[in-house]
Structure 1
Amino acid sequence: MLGMFAAPRVNMREDYGKVRRVQRRLVSLWRPLRRVPFRQTAAQVGNRMIPVRIFQPTDRRRNDILVFFHGGGWVTGDIATYTPACAAMADLTGCTVASVNYRLAPEHPFPAGLEDCVNVAQQLLDDPRRAGIDNAGDIVLVGDSAGANLAAAVSLVLRERGHRGPDRQILLYPVTHWDHNPSTSPFDSVREHGEGLRLTNAEIDAYFDLYVPDAERRRNPHVSPLLASDLSGQPKTLVITAEQDLLRDEGEAYGQALADAGNEVTIYRVPEALHGFIQLPKISRQMRDAYEVINEFLDAELAAGQCAPSSGLASS
């Protein structure tokens, strides 16, 4: 049954343009899209504008602004194709969601997309009134997959540059390491779930080839956050992984590394979930499970304790 949801087997190095067109076509067929309330705006960086799509929840229950970086291997996806997921995120959290349309590879390889995300986050954190709030502490970075990689890297970059960073970040099945070769990867999930499911080892290798063509640069902590020599001073972090995902172990390892560096961390593994589950319908069990944990994270200070991945809430 899980295999029925496998991503199309395409040569991403050659067919990324076709994949983008198919994604846009599919989202255009999503009938509720016509009723999704959002506002289109942009952040200005020099002479260039970075599009940002703002989603308001039907019932706003929190002051938090979720600054969202979409997934898609740094190559596919955009604020249009993630509109259903962001609308669901706004309604399920009761938060405003600001989805960032960062530049994609291979037209704009690393670090172009990362710099877009850094610039948007920095502008909002330096002047939260841009987001319609008074307190920068209400800004939460959120990303899924490659977007979670970008969120983690943004937090690292802002600290390194001496800027105010976010107080909280939510990383959904993040990419944190460069090696997804079953023969050399340090993570068992790469060998257990790297074929036939939603994301494969071959596909993520293709994404890396397009995003960071120079293989040596993939060890840069801004590409592989797990390799950062100093993870101190990072935001309170929620890491959510999917049980049936090749990225599972590296995401949990990053959460543990953050905790070992003295940060407050919660790690949660969604049972039986596939990579990309954040784009499932709101009624899905995996979505309900994940958002229950997300809402608890948004509502409460993280309690001290042992940080251990599980199919349940664990914190440190």
Structure 2
Amino acid sequence: MPLKSDITINAPQFDAASAPKGTLEANNKLTEMMKEGPKWFEVGAAKYREMRWNNQTPLPRPPVIESGVNFKIPSRDSGRELPCRMFKPENGEPKGVFLHIHGGGFTLNSEGFQDGYLKFLADNMTVTVISVGYRLAPEDPFPAAPNDCVDAAEYLLKEGAKYGGKLLFIGGESAGGHLSVVTTFELLRTHSEPLPLKGLILNYGVYDCAVFLPQAHTIATPAIINLPIMFRYNDAFAPNTTIEQRRDPMYSPIYENLFKFKGRLPPALFTCGTEDPLLDDTTLMSLKWMAAGGEAVVKIYPGAPHGFSLFPAKMYEAASQVNEHIKEFMLEKL
């Protein structure tokens, strides 16, 4: 009998040749589109955020859904509050709360950038979805963002009943995936009692911000982000820091010893496309999660680039697929 490996991989899912028809063409169009207009580091992050809302950047202003509610919650700093945006399910009482943490390289976007996705989660999973507007770099560098996300999670652990129940899920995209993991680790460090968390939704997160993993250095055709842009984000988020300092698990959670949390890691859904510079981040972090005894469901989308879930399904078939996978995972945990 052949020797059985302790690790197995569904190799075809990692092959861009398995991508649905039109995906690679969409990648080419997206790459060309991103060449137009100014870059955030050319005009400044604050100006670029303003330009995005005015439809002056390659990516259009995100749609705003009127049923979203803006409100604020306390932070650890006296006199300062955290802006949030909330969606409750249209039908039925919420079963609990989902804390959403947006992406944007720690410098861009806000709690108001993903109304469609937040409403999808609220209506399909019957949960209250609250997206937190954490402080952004370069105005507020590390550790402002993780501190704000931890503050939001701590507040919802205590006051979740005001919004629909216990804090059951934490999740986000890209930098939001990173901050979701960092927030969860901090909760596990500071709470000895069991947490009510039923799962994490980690879409193409970045987990090594020290030097970045090999895929970021070797990918041939990155559509949304590339290595130079990633280093720009890094320098804004943690200016004047050494590589060793960037290996702090609060900054690069891939360096955390997950065995400290053995038996306590919440189930996690990891998603990523094969044409994403952060594919290795998802692969390695999910492997470490499982090695430490945590449940990790990993879904890989052939040909999909970074941020694919934020684009219309007519552009990326994987965008509808990932939403169905998220739905299946969350309903199973509920």
* TM-score, normalization by structure 2: 0.79
Runs of 4+ in 1 over 6 A off after TM superposition: none
Query: Structure 1 residue 281 and structure 2 residue 312: aligned?
Result: yes
Gaps of 5+ in 1: 303-316
Select which of 237, 262, 278 maps to 1:211: 237
Higher mean alpha-carbon deviation, 142-151 vs 56-65, is at: 56-65
Q: Is 69-78 or 39-48 further displaced after alignment?
A: 39-48
Residue 182 of structure 2 corresponds to 153
| Amino acid across the alignment from 1:221 | P
Partner of 1:144: 173
What corresponds to 1:40 in structure 2? 70
2:136 alignment counterpart: 104
Moved more, 270-279 or 112-121: 270-279
Once the two structures are superposed, residues 256-310 of structure 1 have per-residue CA deviations (whole angstroms, 9 ceiling, x without a partner) of 10110011111111222111122212555212110111111112259xxxxxxxx
Count of aligned positions: 293
Read off the aligned partner of 1:267 and give its amino acid letter: V
Question: Corresponding residue for 1:309?
Answer: none
Residue 127 of structure 1 aligns to a residue whose secondary structure is: helix
Asked whether the equivalents of residues 125 and 139 of structure 1 are also in contact (C-alpha less than 8 Å), the reply is no
> 2:19 corresponds to which residue?
none
Structure 1 residue 224 displacement after superposition = 1.0
Tell me which of the two structures has the higher relative contact order, counting C-alpha pairs closer than 8 angstroms and 6 or more residues apart.
2
What is the letter of the counterpart of residue 83 of structure 1?
D
Pairwise mapping of residues 182-261 of structure 1 onto structure 2 (< 5 A)? 185=213, 187=214, 189-193=215-219, 195-213=221-239, 214-215=241-242, 216-231=244-259, 232=261, 233-261=264-292
SS at match of 1:26: coil
User: What's the offset of the Cα at 1:204?
Assistant: 0.8
TM-superposed deviation, 1:154: 0.3
Q: Which residue of 2 aligns with 1:69?
A: 101
**1:308 aligned residue:** none
Q: Distance in 2 between matches of 1:269 and 1:257?
A: 17
1:209-231 Cα distance to aligned partner (Å, 9 max, x none): 11011133211111111111234
Q: Deviations over 1:113-154 (max 9, x none)?
A: 111100110111133213221xx3x52001100011000000
Q: 2-side partners of 1:118 and 1:259: how far apart?
A: 24
Bigger shift: residues 226-235 or 9-18? 9-18
* 1:239 maps to amino acid: F
1:126 equivalent to 2:171? Answer no
Q: What percent identity do the matched residue pairs reach?
A: 25
* Letter in structure 1 aligned against 2:326: I
In structure 2, stretches of 5+ residues that fail to align are 1-24
Pairwise CA RMSD of aligned residues?
2.7
Q: Does 1:82 align with 2:119?
A: no
Note if 1:10 corresponds to 2:39. Answer: yes
1:95 aligns with 2:127: yes
Partners in 2 of 1:40 and 1:4 — Cα distance? 35
Length-normalised TM-score, structure 1 = 0.83
Q: Quick one: which amino acid aligns to residue 86 of structure 2?
A: I
